[in-house]
């Protein structure tokens, strides 16, 4: 029996995948995993089971579930603590909602969510440690309270857990995909259909490890599903709303690149140059001025819904587009009205 260990779709958890032996006698799932994974503590395994983060043959199981022969097991655990230390920094945070258990933050484009890859300062997590020193005081945990994330140059809503119980409950919701999330994106061109679904496995690009690639045949990567609908057309661009069945890294960016409609000003996926429109110098200057209004790609996590981890209440939050994004749309409306 082999054990595969991979990053989860949001990069915040390790994904373990293994299969029981053909001659496996019935055994509690927690004991089974302790035997198979000696480097993972029984306490962590039991916490994962209680949080609904262990599945056998794609079904969530309880800690006392007894595994049998030739069954497939998968579960998630938080990444181990790192050797780097994390320092609090005074960073302004836009708090949309807060109580004793959760925070909802509207992250601006340009702000990294958590440290990593040689970048250990100036992140959202550094700011959280400054404003909530009594909650986020473990300097070796680089991702305190995080259950999901969005790209550096994507703006929008994030929920953050303020205690271990909330972290476990929210992690379960994201794991089971019961949260509600919508994104607004401005893409080059006009998709063939106003309402459609993009499907295709997403994995690391075979040549450029900084971007993701769509593998239509499913030979690599993980399954990814993006539903979109048209909100507004701008002649050479289209504003779309996206809902995700999955949350793969760069999912929206990679999927729209794959169907020939990269996001406006998306440098890594080819959207930072003129892909539709005229050759007139005036138009070129207009588009370049539009690029300058954005920190990065035109993508905003506009709404977020989840069940409160303590009260069970269904919470839903929505935020306006950032000023630069909103100004860009206004300018395109004026341009289209004058030229179409």
Which pLDDT value is given to residue 79? 53
Residue found by looking up tokens 């994904």 in the block: 15
Among the options 151, 164, 208, 266, which is catalytic? Answer: 151
**Do 229 and 159 fall within a single domain?**
no
**Do 149 and 49 fall within a single domain?**
no
Residue 229 lies in a domain: yes
**Do 233 and 272 fall within a single domain?**
yes
Exposed/middle/buried for 85, CB within 10 Å: 0-12, 13-18, 19+? exposed
Residue 88 lies in a domain: no
Domain count, the chain: 3
- In this structure, what CATH number is given to the domain that contains residue 42? 3.10.290.10
Element holding 219 (H helix, E strand): none
List the domain range (segments joined by +) for residue 151.
Answer: 95-176
- In this structure, what CATH number is given to the domain that contains residue 224? 3.30.2350.10
- Where is the domain boundary, 176, 198, 219? 176
DSSP codes, 161-176:
ESSHHHHHHHHHHHHH
Q: How far is CA 278 from CA 107, 157, 281, in A?
A: 35, 36, 9
**Do 185 and 171 fall within a single domain?**
no
Query: What is the spatial distance between Cα 117 and Cα 165, in angstroms, rounded to a whole number?
Result: 29
- Where is the domain boundary, 142, 176, 210? 176
Task: Name residues of the chain where pLDDT drops below 70.
Answer: 1-15, 38-39, 77-85, 115-120, 134-144
Which pLDDT value is given to residue 136? 58
Contact 161, 167 (CB under 8 A): yes
- Residue among 252, 265, 254 nearest 302 (CA): 252
**Do 144 and 208 fall within a single domain?**
no
**Do 168 and 206 fall within a single domain?**
no
Question: 208: Cβ–Cβ under 8 A, 6 or more apart, which residues?
Answer: none
DSSP codes, 59-76:
EE--TTPEE-TT-EEEEE
**Do 273 and 195 fall within a single domain?**
yes
Which pLDDT value is given to residue 139? 47
**Do 234 and 264 fall within a single domain?**
yes
Q: Identify any residues that bridge with 195 across adjacent strands, giving them in sequence order.
A: 229
**Do 189 and 168 fall within a single domain?**
no
Residue 244 lies in a domain: yes
Which two three-digit tokens encode residue 123? 């992140």
Would you give the distance in Å from CA 190 to the centre of its chain? 25
pLDDT tens digits, residue range 240-296? 999 998 888 899 999 999 999 999 999 999 999 999 999 899 999 999 999 999 999
Concerning whether 151 is annotated as a catalytic residue, the answer is yes
Residue 99 lies in a domain: yes
| Phi-psi label, residue 116: left if phi above 0, alpha if psi -120 to 50, beta otherwise | left
Residue 89 lies in a domain: no
- Residue among 106, 114, 201 nearest 158 (CA): 106
- Where is the domain boundary, 176, 210, 231? 176
| Phi-psi label, residue 58: left if phi above 0, alpha if psi -120 to 50, beta otherwise | left
Q: Is the dihedral of CA 207, 209, 210, 215 positive or negative?
A: positive
Which two three-digit tokens encode residue 184? 């607004």
**Do 194 and 163 fall within a single domain?**
no
**Do 136 and 202 fall within a single domain?**
no
Residue 273 lies in a domain: yes
Residue 318 lies in a domain: yes
Which pLDDT value is given to residue 199? 94
**Do 104 and 58 fall within a single domain?**
no
Residue 283 lies in a domain: yes
């Amino acid at each position: 029996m082999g054990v595969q260990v991979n990053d989860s779709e949001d990069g915040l958890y390790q994904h373990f995948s293994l299969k029981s032996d053909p001659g496996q006698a019935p055994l509690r799932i927690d004991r089974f995993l302790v035997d198979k994974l000696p480097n993972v503590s029984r306490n962590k395994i039991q916490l994962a089971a209680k949080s609904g983060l262990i599945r056998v043959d794609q079904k969530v199981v309880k800690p006392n579930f007894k595994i049998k022969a030739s069954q497939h097991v998968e579960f998630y655990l938080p990444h181990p603590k790192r050797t780097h230390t994390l320092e609090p920094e005074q960073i302004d945070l836009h708090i949309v909602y807060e109580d004793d258990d959760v925070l909802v933050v509207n992250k601006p484009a340009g702000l990294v969510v958590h440290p990593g890859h040689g970048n250990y300062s100036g992140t959202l997590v550094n700011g959280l440690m400054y404003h909530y020193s009594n909650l986020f005081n473990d300097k070796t945990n680089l991702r305190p309270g995080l259950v999901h994330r969005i790209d550096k140059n994507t703006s929008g809503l994030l929920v953050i857990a303020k205690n271990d119980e909330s972290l476990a409950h929210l992690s379960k919701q994201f794991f089971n995909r019961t949260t509600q999330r919508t994104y607004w994106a401005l893409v080059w061109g006009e998709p063939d259909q106003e309402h459609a679904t993009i499907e295709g496995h997403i994995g690391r690009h075979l040549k450029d490890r900084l971007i993701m690639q769509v593998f239509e045949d499913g030979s690599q990567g993980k399954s990814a599903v993006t539903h979109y609908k048209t909100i507004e057309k701008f002649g050479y661009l289209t504003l779309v709303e996206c809902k995700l069945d999955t949350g793969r890294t760069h999912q929206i960016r990679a999927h729209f690149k794959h169907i020939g409609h990269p996001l406006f000003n998306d440098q890594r996926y080819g959207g930072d140059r003129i892909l539709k429109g005229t050759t007139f110098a005036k138009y070129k200057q207009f588009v370049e001025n539009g690029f300058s209004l954005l920190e990065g790609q035109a993508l905003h996590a506009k709404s977020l819904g989840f069940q409160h981890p303590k009260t069970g209440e269904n919470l839903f939050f929505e935020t306006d587009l950032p000023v630069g994004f909103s100004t860009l749309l206004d300018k395109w409306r004026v341009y289209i009205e004058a030229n179409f």
